[in-house]
Chains A and B, each alone.
Chain A
């Protein structure tokens, strides 16, 4: 060893030094892990700490090592209202534009008009949230400084700068009844860009190191477009006359089905991080989303069957929109939770190493 004799003597006589450890670290490992778990418990907030402690006592000790139970990753600094809100609003706007375009093509004037107005309102509110969430809102225009395919946020910014004006023109021409030719073009433009607006946000959150988001990248776009169709269909059910709302109802039911199936498949596939979708705030939101989807779908079916009911359609539409809100906030919270516990980072990566051929 490269140390001096004096140092070595000191080590011999008193405490182990940096070279003290040879090969076998079994015993210190266990004790050190105990320390980190203890730290983890103390790190819990307020009243929840107690319950967590009790839960911990019943389950076997976590089989991973960490630095005092501290997270490896940094949680996203995004504010839930701004960003999870935008995930919902972007989906609502995008799918509403597509429904509006379909309604325009098939002569459903009210469904088209309300879809366009809804899309403009949603994307405007969403954009306000996006700018508000910036650390330097005055520099929002820097988003269009470059176009980077490696940055879903950059791609999204350019997409929005094409989509939002189209959605705006479509809505305004529809409201004021002027420039109908331009309005028609904008309607179809927004209708074609809408699905991209609804799906790119899935890439945006998956393209991070947050395990609950990244690991779910295969299903996330389908969950997102499903949720978008649920919300936009819900808006159509709520605002369009019953005789025009058929396609909105079918889109909403189809979306709810895709979203539910996508979530189910994703949670079965991704392993450990899946539990973040069932626990804490995320778990409550996802359960609420499930219940609202069921209620909304049932009300929608009742509202469309036999003698059509305006009230049932409105209830269904509202519940489906609320379901989409809960889904987006739930997914947002699950991602955050997966960054806050080192377990979701360390355990899968350690398994990967241990399984890799040496």
Chain B
């Protein structure tokens, strides 16, 4: 279907990877839109979770206390399209970096140990090479003209293939409904020139919506700023078009390793290896055919051999 499968990204393919909408057959389409979630300014208010549920009429998915800091949403899922992670990291005096900048060093000036609180609003990554879309057998999952990935709920038959295919564990089947659901990048709002509900409501602009190219530039500026200020743990996640999914349409600035936030450190779209898998299956099928054929060689047709055996017994 597309040329990137199974091959290392060449220059031409890299250009395609920047523009998945064109690769999916959209002509004369708007620029690729996406999210840049800057977790360094997230205050954990969960307004994004609420706005998403409200706008998209996503049903509730249970009310329980998890004991995971202030996170009672647990993870992204069929009925959770924004999820705010809360990580409490105890900070000891020993952990205070030697010669850190004024901000880095000032935290534990009081002498007491404390915690640092990481908060991050997670969302569907709208991958350049989206495994969910690749494996969907019905064509319910499609690439929009904005480069985002959405499920057509009137087509989805609930086969569930997208669920284990997603390297981030984003998409899931809504049990009472039987179909797969995930973030739509508020496709309906984009169609009328509005930004997605979560970005609109975010009070600190931790969630920024815009043209992906511009967001990448902005993110790199922000990263440089943080590094200059001594926050050397800041890093971008999913920003690079050279990563295993060809770059995320929704990428992040994190203050610790991705796995701390429940994100895979080096996700790879599973269909990258699909050509090799098909080759293997072809070879295996041929082997089965040959193996069974061989099983018939060396023994004469039944009638003859039965006769021979009778003769032998006598």
Contacts and interface: CB of A to CB of B under 8 A. Distances in A.
Interface of A: 1-2, 8, 11-29, 31-32, 35, 39, 64-68, 70-78, 94-95, 98-99, 102-103, 105-109, 111, 133-137, 139-140, 142-143, 145-146, 148-154, 157, 192, 194-196, 198-200, 202-203, 206-210, 213-214, 217-218, 220-222, 224-225, 228-229, 233, 243-244, 246-248, 250-251, 254-255, 258, 335, 339, 342, 345-346, 349-350, 352-353
Nearest to B39: A18
B154 to A, nearest CB: 9
B115 A102 contact: no
B74 interface: yes
Contact of B301 (A17, A76, A107): A107
A281 B89 CA distance: 35
A2 B101 contact: no
Contacts of B170: 74
Given A28-B91, A70-B74, A95-B288, A254 B157 contact: no
Given A74-B166, A192-B289, A218-B276, A251 B262 contact: no
B40 A19 contact: yes
> What are the 7 A-B residue pairs with the smallest beta carbon separation, nearest first?
A135-B158, A22-B104, A135-B178, A20-B107, A22-B100, A67-B262, A221-B284
B188 interface: no
Contacts of A148: 1, 134, 136-137, 139
7 contacts: A76-B160, A109-B302, A146-B139, A148-B136, A203-B277, A246-B299, A247-B299
Among A21, A35, A99, A135, which residue has the most Cβ atoms of chain B within 10 A? A21
Nearest to A210: B164
Nearest to B85: A67
Chain B contact residues (Cβ within 8 angstroms of A): what range?
35 or more
A208 B160 CA distance: 11
B229 to A, nearest CB: 5
B220 interface: no
Interface of B: 1-2, 5, 40-42, 66-68, 74-75, 77, 85, 87-92, 94-98, 100-101, 103-110, 114-119, 131, 134-140, 155-161, 163-173, 177-180, 225-226, 229-233, 255-257, 259-267, 270-271, 273-274, 276-278, 280-289, 291-296, 299, 301-303, 305-306, 309
Given A209-B167, A225-B284, A72 B309 contact: no
A74 B171 contact: yes
A326 to B, nearest CB: 20
B291 A203 contact: no
B193 to A, nearest CB: 29
A150 B231 CA distance: 42
A225 B164 contact: no
A31 B85 CA distance: 18
Among B5, B41, B95, B229, which residue has the most Cβ atoms of chain A within 10 A? B95
Contact of B137 (A135, A151, A254, A350): A151
A224 B284 contact: yes
A308 to B, nearest CB: 9
Contacts of A136: 156-158, 178-179
B310 to A, nearest CB: 10
A195 B285 contact: yes
Contacts of B225: 2
Contact of A73 (B166, B261, B287, B295): B166
Contacts of B155: 139, 142, 145
Among A27, A39, A107, A210, which residue has the most Cβ atoms of chain B within 10 A? A27
A149 B85 CA distance: 37
A139 B157 contact: yes
